[in-house]
Structure 1
Amino acid sequence: MLLKILISSIFSLLFFLHFLHGFDIKVSSKEENLQVHLTTNLMKQCYPTVKSSYLITDSQENSLYMNFYTVVGTITLFEQSKNFTSNLKKKSPISSVIMSLRSSSKLEEALIDAKWRAFNQFFIILDGGDTNNGCDNAKSFLMEAWRNDILKAVFLCWNYQKQIPQLYSFNPFNRYAPMSWEKVAVVPAINGHPWTLFVQNYDTGIATCESLFFDRTSDLGRYIIKFGLFNLPPFLSYKNISGVATINGYNYEIIKLLVKELNATLVIDEVAAVLGRFDNATTRGLLWRVAKGKVDLTMNSLILRAVSKSAEITYPFHGAGLSAISQNRLSPGHDSQLFSFLPPSIFALLFITCILVFFLLLYLFKDPYSRNVVAIVLLLLNLPTPSTPITTNGRIIFGATLLGFTITNVIIQAKMDTVMSILNTEQNIENIEDINNLNYTVLTRRGILSQTLEANGVTNIKLVPHYISCSQLERHEAFVGVEYILRTHLTDTCHMSKHPIVPGLFVSYYTRSNWPIYPKINKKLLMLFEGDLTRYISDKVLREYYVPNFQEVERYQVITLQHMEYAFYFFVGSSLMSLIVFFVELVITIA
C-alpha cells in the first residue's frame, strides 16, 4: 500500500514539474516574441525606408536571430563566434544596427575592428539575456555603448512593473532632451563628466520618431576634449617655462575659437616629439596617438594622406602645395657687381696709394711718370701711362706699385668674370623637373613630404628632422616643404619657387576614428573656413612671424685685405727696397 502511494506521488510530482517547465517555456517564448514585435514595429513606423541593417547577437537561439528577416528584408547577420564575423559581404552602407546581447560587456567585443561603422548609423539595443531583466540593464548597456563611441542609440525593453514598453536614451554632454523624454539619473562617465539617462514610454501606435535620436552635440557642456600636438612654429608653438604652459600660433587660434563655439574644455594630452606614423609605436608620434585613440583631435593642421580607418579627417581648408627654397643664384645688376666684390674701403685705399705714389715721384724724386693728375686713374685701373720714371729709384717705386695693382686687378677681374658668367648660367628651381636636371640634393622631412617627392620622380632625397633655412644649405642643395610654412623662413638670400612644385595638396585636422563629436567638429570648422575667418587669423599670425630667424651668409664673398695680402706684402717690400736704395744713393752723392 505504501509503495503504491509513493509511486503515485512521484508521478504527480513529475507531472507538476513538466507543467511548470512548459509554462516557463511559453512565458519565455512570449517575452522573446514581444521583443521581436516591438523591434519590428519601431523599424516599420520610424524607418520604413531602411533596406540594410546589422543584427549583432551572441546567441543563435535568440528570437531576433530567428525572426530578423521579418524586421528588415535585407540584413547582414553576425552569428555567435569569437570575432563576430559577418556571413554576408554588403557593399551598401549600413544605416541601422540592432544589438541583442546577453551582457553589456559583450558590446565592446562585438565592435572590435568594426569597419562597417559610420557616423549616420543608429543603434537599437536589446537585452538578450534573461527575459526577466526587463529594463533593469538599460543604464549599463547604454553606458557601455557610449564608452565605445556610440552616440545615436536607444535601449528598447518591456517594463514589467508598469506592463508597458519603454525606450531609454542618454545625453553624455548636458541634461538636455526633447520634452517626450524624462530624466532618470545623472552619473559620472568618461573623465568624470556628467552622463544623463532618459526614458519615455513607447506607444506602438504613435511612435515619437522625430525625437528618438535627438542632437546632443549643440552644447558639449564643458566636455573635455583631449588634444595632441607637436611644435611647428609659427602655426603651433608650445613652451613650458617653470611649469607654466604657453601655446600660440595659427592652429591654436582656430582650435581655441572652435572649443569656445562648442562649449568644450581644451586639455593637452601630451606634446609629441614627432609627427610619426599611424602604425609606428616606436616614436610614439602624434599620428600613432590619434590611431590608438589616446587623443581626440590634433591641434596641428596636417596634410591630407591615406588614413584608412586609423583616423577621421576634417574638411580640407587650406592649400598646402610643396615648394623649394635654395640659395639665391640670381646675379645682381652690373652696376652693383663691382662693389659686391670690392667694398668702398678697399677701393679708397687703392686710390689713396695711387695719389701718394704720383705726388711722391712728382715732387720728392722729381721723376714723375706723368704731370697730368688724370694719370692717377690710369694707374688705378692698371692702364698704360704716358711715360715711366727715368731714375732707378723712381722705376723701383713705380714698378712695385704697378706690379701690386696688376695682381690686385687680376684677382678682382677673375672674381667679376665668375659672377658675370658662371652664376648667370646657373638656374634656380622653379618646377619639379629642375631638381633632377640641375642635380640638386633635396632635403625634406620624413613622411608625406618624402613620399610625395618620390612619387613625383625625385631620387636624390636626404631626410632631415626639421625645417631648415637657406644658411644651412650648400650650393646644390634645396629644402622642400609646405609652401605656407616656407614663407616664414624666407630672407633676402633665399630663392623660393614662384609656384608650388607639387600643387594640389591640402591640410585638415585629424580626429580619432569613430569619434562621435567628429561630425559637429567638421561642420563648425567648415562654417569658420567658409566665413574666411581662418584666412584673417592666418595672415595675422604670418605677419607676426615673418621675421628672419636666421643669420644668412653673404650671397657673394666680399674681397678684403686678406685676399690680397701677398700683393700688398710685395708692394710694401718693394717700396721699402726702393727707399733703401734712395738713401744709399743720397749718402753716396753727399760724400
Structure 2
Amino acid sequence: MYFIKFSTYITVIYFMAINFLADANLTSWNLKNNSKLLENELMNLLKICFVGHSNYLMMLGHDDDFIDKIDKIETASTVIIKNNSNIDTIKNHWQLSSIQLDIIILSIKSSKNLELELSKLKSSPWWSIDSHYFIINTSNTSCDNAIDYLNTTWHMNLLSSIFMCQEENQQINLYTYNPYTNWAPSSWHHQLQINKTWTLYNRPFNINSNNTCSNLIFDKTRYLNGYPIKALANPKKKEKYKTDVNYNYTSLSKISSSDLLRCLFSALNSSLIIHLNGPMYLDNNGKPTSQVFYQLSDGIYDMSLNFRYLRNVKNHRFFDYTYSYTKSSVVIITHKSKQMTPEEKFKRYYSRNVVMLTIISCLLTLFAFGIYEKQGFGIAFFEVLRLIFNTGLLYMPTSTTMRIYLYPIMILFLILSSTFNSKLASYLTHKHYHSNIDNIDDLKSSNHQVFVANEFEHYLKNFPRKYHIYLASDFCSSVLLNNSNAACVGRRDYEAATRFYLHMSKETVADFYETQLMRKNWPLKKKINFIYSILMECGLLPRLRYQQLVTWQKVLAQNEERNSPKYRPVRKKNILFALKLFTVGIILSIISFIVEIFYYKKNNKIKTLKLNNNKYFDFTYPLTKSGLVLTTQRKGYLTPWQKICQFYSQGVIILTLIVCLTSVVFISIYKNQGLSSACLEVFRLCVGTGLLHMPNNTIIRIYLFPVLLLFLLLGLSFNSKLSSFLTNSNPLENIDNIEELENSNYTIYVYEGIKTFILNFKNKNIIYTSNIDCYKFVLNDSSSACITYESRSYDRAMKYKLYIGKIRVLEFYEVFLMRKNLPVGKKIKDIMSRLMESGLLSRWRYKLKFFWNELVEQSNKEIAVDYYRPVTIEDLYFSFKFLAVGLSMSFILFLLEFFHYKKFNLYR
C-alpha cells in the first residue's frame, strides 16, 4: 500500500517535472521570439522615420544578431558598444569623440541594467540629452514595467526616450512620458499620471500605418503650465531678504535685470521658486566660492538668475550656461574726488615751467635795471615789483636797447596778471575738485590701493610691478566703503555707484559678455536659449538693457545734481583766503610806498621832458588823441526812377540788348516771319509771356533754350527787386572819408587854423573861413562840407542832425596850454603823466566819446524811424504810373499783333 502511494508520488513528480521543463522551454522560446520581433520592428521604424535625417546611431547591448542588423542599415553610421566593451578605451579617440550621435538604441534586460548602461554612456564624449533614445526589453513579454524604464531616463534628463515592448495580446506598443504637464499630441494616449506633472503615454505601433512617424518625437517643453523652476539669485544691495524663505515670481524686483527675467519666465509659462543668498561668484579659474553653487551643480537648483562672466563658465564641468547676449564692461570704481583747498588751488595757478620762466625773467630784469641802467639793486627790485603788479615803471628807461627788452617783459607780466586775477576770481567763487580716475593711466599715476575682482585679475597682468594688487570679491565696490584711498577694478556697478555716490571711469578697462548659469544637462536649457534668441532678434533684449542703463544714468544724474555745489550767499569763511591774500598785498604795497618815500627824500630830483620852445605859451604832455572830421548834411532817399536805374548793371543791360537783337535776327531768318513779327516774338519773351508760335527748327529751339532761361531769371529778379524797392526806403550813401569828398562836387569849408594840415587836398572848391564853427555853411547849403575839430563836432551833429564821417581826415594829439614859467606847471605835467600811466585819462576820454557816439546813434535811429512804416497811397503813386506804362505797352502790343494778323490773314 505504501509502495503504491510512493509510486504514485513518483509518477506525479515525474509528470510535473516534464511539464515544468516544457513550460520553461516554451517561455525561453517565447522570450527569444519576442526579442527578435521587437528588434525587427525597431529596425523598420528606424529605416522609415530616421534614416536619411539622422546620420549616426549608437547601439548599447549584448544581442549580436541585432547589432549585425543595425550595422547593415544603409546611409547610417553606427557606433556599437557591447556590454563587455570598455568605453574608456575609445572615448579618447578624437575622431570618435567628435561624433554627435542622433539616435541611441539600448537593448536592455532590466531597469537596473538600463541605469548602468546610461551611466557608462554619461562618462563618454557622446553623451547628449538631445539625442533620441530607443529602449527594448529583451527579458519580458509584457509592458508592465515601462514606467520603471522611463522613470530611469527621466532621472538622467532624457526627454526624447521611447520604450518599445510587446503586450500579452501580441500588440507592440510605444511608451513615452511628459514630466512637465499632461499634454501630448493626439496620437499618444494617456496611460498613467504619477503626480501633478509626470504623465505616462502610449501608442500602438503598426509599421503599415500612415501615421507611424507622426509626432513620434515631440517637444515636451512646449507647454509648461506653471511647472516650478528652482532658481538661485543674488539680490540687490539695498534689498532685505531671508535665506530660509523661498520667494516667488513677484519678488523678481529684488534682483537686477528684473524686466528681462519677467519676459523670460512669462514666455516659459512656468512658476518660479527663488532662493536668495549672499554674493555668489567664480574665481579666475572658474571654481565656485560659495556652497550654494554646489547645490546648483548637484541639481538641487535649476539655474542662477544673475548674469556671470562668460570666460569663467565656458567649458565648465559642473555647469551649463545660456547664450551670451548681454554685454557689460570692466571699469575702475573709486570715490568721488575731493574738493580742492584754497592752498591747493593757489599751487595749481600756473605750471612749473611758467613759474620758472617768470623767476628767470624777474632776475634778468633786476640785473638789467641794477647794472645796465645803473639804478641800484634796491630801486631795481621795486621796479620789478611794479612790473609784477602791473602798475608800470616809475622811470621809463631812455636806452632803446632797454626799451626793446622791456617790451616782451611787460607783455608777459600783463598776461600773467590778467590770468592771475581771472583764476583768483574763479577759484574763490566756485568749488573745484581734483580730477577723477577715468582710465588705467590715471590709476597708474595715482596713489590708490588697487583692488581687482578675482575673475578680472588677468586684465591687470601688464600693470607695473611696483603696485601691489589686492584680490576682492566679484563686486569689489564694497571694499571702497571702508577705504577712501582704494580703487576697485570690477564690473560696472550702477547700484553701488548710485547708493554710495561712487565714480565709475569713463573709459572701460575691457568689455565682456555675460551669461546665466544652469545645472548640467537641464532639459529646459534649449528652450531658454530659444526664447533669448527671439528676444534678441526682435530687439526687445537690447531695449530692456538700454532702459535699465537709462534708469541708472538718470539716478546718477540726479545724485550729481543733488551733490553739485549750489550758489548761496558768500560768508566770511568763504573769503577768508581772499582776505589773507589781500592783507599780504596791502603789506607789500605799504612797504613799497614807504621805501619810495624815503627814496624821493634822498634823491629829490624830478626828471621832466621839455616839449616845446614857444615864446608865449607852455603846454602839457600830448596825452589825448583827437583829429579832424568831415561834417555834411545827411543825404535823402532814392527816388523810384533812381531805384529802377539801379536794378541792373550796365553789363547786364548790354548783354540783354545783344541777346534781343540776335534773337530778332534768328527768328526772322529761320522762321521767315519778317522783322515786325520777330520783334513781337522777342518782345513777348522780354515780358515773359512766351512765344506766339513755337519754331519747328531744331537749331532755333536749341538757341532759344538759354534765351528763355535768361529772360526767366531777369523777370524773377526784376519782380523781386521791384516789390522791395517800392515798399522800402533806400537812403543815399553819405560821405565817410576824404577820397569820396575829393570825387564829389561839394564846396568845402575849412577853418583857417588847420589850413596847414590839408595842403595836399586835390579838391579846388575849398573856402577858408575864420569861423571855427563852419557847420553853419553846411546847414545853409546841402552840397557843402565842413572840416573842423572832432571835439566840437559831436554836439552840433546831434543838435542839427548832421552826418560825421566814419574816418578821420587827420589824427593828432591835443594838449592844455599854460602861461610861460607857471610855478605849478611841472606839477600839472607830472599829474597828467600819472593820469595817463594809470589809464584814467584814457578812460575819461573813452567815456566821453562813447557818450557822444551813443547820442549820435540815437539821433540816427530817430531819423530812420520812417524806414519801415505802413504803406500809404502816396507811396503807391509810382506803382500806379508803372502799371499804366505796362498797360499801355500791352495795348500797343495787342494792336500791332491785331494788324499783323489782319494783314497776313493768319488766324488760329
Normalising by structure 1, we get a TM-score of 0.66
> Alpha carbon RMSD of aligned pairs, Å?
5.1
**Paired residues for 1:340-379 under 5 Å:** none
Tell me which protein shows more helix as a share of its residues: 2
Query: How far does residue 443 in structure 1 lie from its aligned partner after superposition?
Result: 1.2
**Matching residue of 2:147:** 139
Give the 3-state SS of the residue equivalent to 1:509 in structure 2: strand
Q: Which residue of 2 aligns with 1:158?
A: 166
1:87-109 CA-partner distances (Å, limit 9, x unpaired): 56422111111223333244444
Q: Structure 1 residue 167: deviation in Å?
A: 0.8
Q: What is aligned with 2:191?
A: 184
Corresponding residue for 1:208?
A: 212
How far residue 220 of structure 1 moved from its aligned partner, in angstroms, is: 0.4
* CA deviation map 1:101-159 (0-9, x unaligned): 3332444444444443335311112224x323x21111222222223211111111112
* Contact 1:40-1:70 at 8 Å conserved across structures: no
Residues 7 and 102 of structure 1: CA distance in aligned 2, closer, same or farther (over 3 Å): closer
Are 1:326 and 1:473, in contact at CA under 8 Å, matched by a contact in 2?
no
8 Å contact kept, 1:327–1:473: no
Deviations 1:276-319 (A, max 9, x none): 46985773144x33322222121111121224342222121121
For the 8 Å contact 2:175–2:203, the answer to whether it is kept is: yes
Aligned counterpart, 1:266: 272
What residue in structure 1 maps to residue 133 of structure 2?
A: 123
Cα deviation, residue 51, structure 1: 3.4
2:199 maps to 1:196: yes
Aligned residues: 477
Q: Does 1:44 align with 2:52?
A: no
| Structure 1 segment 508-519 matched on structure 2, within 5 A | 508-519=515-526
- Partner of 1:322, secondary structure, is strand
Segments of 5+ residues of structure 2 without an aligned counterpart are: 350-384, 394-419, 566-571, 585-908
Listed as ranges, the matches of 1:31-110 within 5 Å are 31-49=34-52, 50-57=54-61, 60=62, 64=66, 68-70=70-72, 73-77=77-81, 79-80=83-84, 87=90, 89=93, 90=96, 91-110=98-117
- Letter paired with 2:56: S
Change (3 A) 1:92 1:165: same
Q: Who is 2:529 aligned against?
A: 522
Is the 1:273–1:285 Cα contact (8 Å) retained in structure 2?
no
Q: How far apart are the structure 2 equivalents of 1:95 and 1:244? A: 39
| Cα distance in structure 1, aligned partners of 2:464 and 2:514 | 22
Instruction: Determine which of 288, 305, 326 is the counterpart of 1:318.
Output: 326
Paired residue secondary structure (1:93):
coil
The match for 1:481 is 490
Residues 73 and 481 of structure 1: CA distance in aligned 2, closer, same or farther (over 3 Å): closer
Alpha-carbon contact 1:445-1:464 (below 8 Å) kept: yes
Alpha-carbon separation, structure 2, partners of 1:302 and 1:217: 25
What is the aligned partner in structure 1 of residue 241 from structure 2? Answer: 240
Matched, 1:229 2:238: no
- Per-residue CA deviations over 1:463-490 (Å, capped at 9, x if unaligned) read 2234428965979753212236489459
In structure 2, what residue type is equivalent to 1:229?
A
Residue type of the alignment partner of 2:192: A
- Deviation of the 1:165 alpha carbon: 1.0
SS for the counterpart of 2:164 is: strand
**Bigger CA radius of gyration:** 2
Q: Counterpart of 1:171 in structure 2: which amino acid?
A: N
Alignment correspondent of 1:468: 477
Q: What 5-or-longer segments of structure 1 have no aligned partner? A: 342-377, 387-411, 572-591
1:530–1:487 Cα change, 3 Å: farther
Residue pairs, 1:419-498, within 5 angstroms: 428=437, 430-431=439-440, 441-446=449-454, 448-454=455-461, 460-465=468-473, 466-468=475-477, 477-483=486-492, 485=494, 488-489=497-498, 494=503, 496-498=505-507
Structure 2: how far apart are the matches of 1:445 and 1:23? 72
Is the partner of 1:299 in helix, strand or coil? Answer: strand
Task: Provide the rounded CA distance (Å) in 1 between the counterparts of 2:504 and 2:279.
Answer: 30
Alpha-carbon shift at residue 529 of structure 1 (Å) = 2.5
Equivalents in 1 of 2:219, 2:198: separation in Å?
A: 15
Q: Which residue of 2 aligns with 1:360?
A: none
CA separation of 1:552 and 1:56: change in aligned 2, threshold 3 A: farther
2:377 alignment counterpart: none
Query: Structure 1 residues 21, 545: closer, same or farther in 2, change over 3 A?
Result: same
- Determine the C-alpha separation between the residues in 1 that align with 2:145 and 2:155: 16
CA shift in 2, pair 1:42/1:322, >3 Å? same
Are the aligned partners of 2:172 and 2:205 in contact in 1 as well (CA < 8 Å)?
A: yes
Distance in structure 2 (CA, Å) of the matches to 1:43 and 1:119 = 19
Task: Give the Å deviation of 1:428.
Answer: 4.7
> Counterpart of 1:30 in structure 2: which amino acid?
N
Q: Does 1:300 align with 2:306?
A: yes
Q: Is the 8 A contact 1:324 1:478 kept in 2?
A: yes
Deviations 1:482-530 (A, max 9, x none): 23648945999836142x2223x10122221111111111111121223
Letter in 2 for 1:117: W
Structure ranking higher on relative contact order (CA contacts 8 Å, 6+ apart):
1
- Residue 436 of structure 2 contacts residue 503 of structure 2 at CA under 8 Å; is this kept in 1? no
3-state SS of 2:152 partner? helix
Choose 167-176 or 487-496, whichever is displaced more.
487-496
Residues 243-254 of structure 1: pairs in structure 2 closer than 5 A: 246-248=251-253, 249-254=255-260
Q: Is the 8 A contact 1:435 1:458 kept in 2?
A: no
Q: In 2 relative to 1, CA 289–4 (structure 1 residues): closer, same or farther, beyond 3 Å?
A: closer
Residue type of the alignment partner of 1:258: L
CA drift of 1:217 comes to: 1.7
- Give the Cα–Cα distance (whole angstroms) in 2 for the partners of residues 226 and 488 of structure 1: 31
The 2-side partners of 1:239 and 1:100 are apart by 54
The more displaced of 515-524 and 21-30 is 21-30
- What is the CA-CA distance between 1:171 and the residue it aligns to? 1.9
Q: In structure 2, do the counterparts of structure 1 residues 153 and 13 end up closer, same or farther at CA, with 3 Å as the change threshold?
A: closer
Distance 1:185-1:490 versus aligned 2 partners, 3 A rule:
closer
Amino acid at match of 1:449: F
Residue 901 (structure 2) aligns with: none
Percent of aligned pairs with the same amino acid: 19
The separation in 2 between residues aligned to 1:512 and 1:535, in whole angstroms, is 26
Query: How far apart, CA to CA, are the structure 1 residues paired with 2:220 and 2:158?
Result: 12
Shift of 1:273: 3.9
Alpha-carbon separation, structure 1, partners of 2:130 and 2:173 = 24
Gap change, CA 1:80 and 1:253, over 3 Å in 2: farther
Per-residue CA shift, 1:520-565, capped at 9, x if unaligned?
A: 11111121223232333334434444446899999xxxx979x99x
Alpha carbons of 1:473 and 1:495: their partners in 2 closer, same or farther (altered >3 Å)?
farther
Aligned residue identity for 2:300: K
Partner amino acid for 2:179?
P
Relative to structure 1, the CA distance from residue 62 to residue 552 in structure 2 (aligned partners, 3 Å threshold; closer, same or farther) is farther
8 Å CA contact 1:252, 1:299 repeated in 2: no
Return the offset for 1:179: 1.9
TM-score (norm 2): 0.45
Do the aligned residues in 2 keep the contact of 1:53 with 1:75 (CA within 8 Å)? yes
Distance 1:276 1:232, change over 3 A: farther
Contact 2:104 2:133 in 1 (8 A): yes
Q: 1:538 to 1:61 in 2, by over 3 A?
A: closer
Partner of 2:366: none
Secondary structure at 1:220 match in 2: coil
